[in-house]
Every structure is written in structure tokens, then in C-alpha cells.
Amino acid sequence: MRHRIGVTLRRPGIVVPAVLAGIVLSWLGIGWATLPDVSSLAEAWPDTTAYMRIRIAQAVRRGDTLRIRYHPVQLSDVPASLRRAVLVSEDAGFYDHSGFDWHEIRAAFEKARREREMPRGASTITQQLARNVYLSPRRAPTRKLREAFITRRLEKELPKSRILALYLNIIELGPGLFGVDAASREYFGIPVSAVSRRQAAMLAATIPSPLLDNPAKDTRRFRWRTDLIAGRAFAPARPK
């Protein structure tokens, strides 16, 4: 009898993890099956993005009206200087990884461990694209996992040049401003094709905190970041 009771008492320790594992696997399967179809982005620009809808909803709650400015342009219309400034500042290894920069991820987790906070940063351009088009800024494990799934799908379905073109055209760059052309016209009064190197660095410097640090506000932090990006992106190569 004692032996039978002992076996019975040990069963919950086996069954509970198995049940939890089954729930997690089922959730992952449902999550993968319900991912958005990104193939339409291969040729068409999204009519709207999750971030656009979020900003409009926030404005409505404040009793305001937000005018969205969004003018997609081809990648060939974006100067090489701007593409370089964005890559240097946001994802230097963009053309070398498959959606995730594991070196940066490890560094972010190590920094978070030292500072005893949630990991920040380390998002690649593809991850940012997934978040901006389909998700939200909310920092939750479930959102991060869904972001990872969509990132893999984007990398599988689209070439790098298309991912970069989409990113440059949907990234938030100020109140109601989405994409580099809309931002260039608002801040500098010119199409993005005509921006200078300095203006390119300014647009790249806007990406991390577009509602607080942008060319219109011209904060000290914004000027510092602009100088940093310009130095890294356009400094003359040192002789070997």
C-alpha cells in the first residue's frame, strides 16, 4: 500500500510539466499558424501600419486629430548616404544576419543582467519592421515571441533590399510622420532624394525616439546622436 501511495504522489510532478509543455507547444503552433501573410509586401506598400493605428488611437483619446503623412518611395530614390547612416546607427550587420544579431542580443542581455532590468535594444531592422507593421511598442514576452516569428517569415519571403525599402518607408520619424520622404519634406522642405549627408544623419538620429528627439526639437541629445552617426557613417577612411 505504501508503495502504491508513493507512486501516486509522484505523478503530479510528472504530469504537470507535461501538461504545461503541451500548452506551450499548442500556443506556439497557433501563433505560427496565425502569422500575417507577408508575401503581399514583396511588391505593395502597406496601406497602414500598427504604429500608425496606435498613434491615431492615442490622439483620439486625447481629443486630438492626427494627420498621417506617409509617402513611400523606391529604394533607389533614397540616397546612399541616408541608407548608410541608418544601417550604421540601427543595424550594421543587416546584410550578414538572417533577422537576428546574436552578438548584439547577448550584449543586451549581459547589460540587462548587470543593471537588473529588462533587455533593451539589439533589435535588427527586420525586427523593427515586424514590430512597426504588425505589432506594438509593448514590451511583453508574448509580443517579442510573435515578433521573432514574423521576423523569420520576413527574412524568408523578402530580399534584403525590399526589407530595407519597407523599413525606410514606414519607420516613425515624428508626430504623424512615417517614412523618410515624409520626414524630409516636413523637416527640410525637400524630397528625400535631395537630402545632404548632415540631413541624412539627422533622420537616422530621429529613429530611436522620434516624438522626443527630432530635427524640429533639436535637443542636445539629438545633436549628440547626429554627430555620432555622421562621424561613423561619413568619416574618411583611415589609411592602412
C-alpha 78 chain-centroid distance: 19
What is the per-residue pLDDT for 119?
47
User: For residue 12, is it within any domain?
Assistant: no
pLDDT at 11: 55
Does pLDDT of 226 surpass 70?
yes
- Asked if the structure places residue 168 within a domain, the reply is yes
pLDDT at residue 5, rounded to an integer: 44
∠225-94-97 over CA atoms, to 5°?
140
- The pLDDT assigned to 102 comes to 61
Percentage of the residues of the chain whose pLDDT score is greater than 90: 68
Question: What does the pLDDT look like over 27-85, one tens digit per residue?
Answer: 444 454 578 999 999 999 999 999 999 999 999 999 999 999 999 999 999 999 999 99
> Is the separation of the CB atoms in 204 and 82 below 8 Å?
yes
Give domain status of residue 66, yes or no.
yes
C-alpha cell at 108: 543586451
For the domain that residue 61 is a member of, what is the CATH number?
Answer: 1.10.3810.10
Confidence class for position 110, pLDDT limits 50, 70, 90: low
C-alpha cell at 18: 507535461
pLDDT digits (tens, 9 = 90+) for 79-96: 999 999 999 999 999 999
Total domain count, the chain: 1
163 located within any domain: yes
* pLDDT surpassing 70 at residue 115: no
- Quick check: 16 pLDDT over 70? no
According to the model, what pLDDT value does residue 142 have?
80
Higher pLDDT, 191 or 18: 191
Asked if residue 8 belongs to a domain, the reply is no
Q: How confident is the model at residue 194 (pLDDT cuts 50, 70, 90)?
A: very high
The answer to whether 89 and 205 have CB atoms below 8 angstroms apart is yes
Q: Is 28 within a domain?
A: no
Q: Return the minimum-mean-pLDDT range out of 32-41, 72-81, 197-206, 222-231.
A: 32-41
Identify the pLDDT of residue 53.
Answer: 97
Which phi and psi (to 5°) does residue 34 adopt?
-100, 15
CB atoms within 10 A of CB 117: 9
List the one residue out of 185, 126, 193, 195 whose CA is nearest residue 157: 126
Q: How far apart are CA 119 and CA 71, in angstroms?
A: 33
Res. 15 pLDDT band, cuts 50 70 90:
low
Statement: residue 117 has pLDDT above 80:
no
Residue 167 has pLDDT above 50, yes or no: yes
Residue span of the structural domain in which 136 resides: 41-234
pTM of the full predicted structure? 0.80
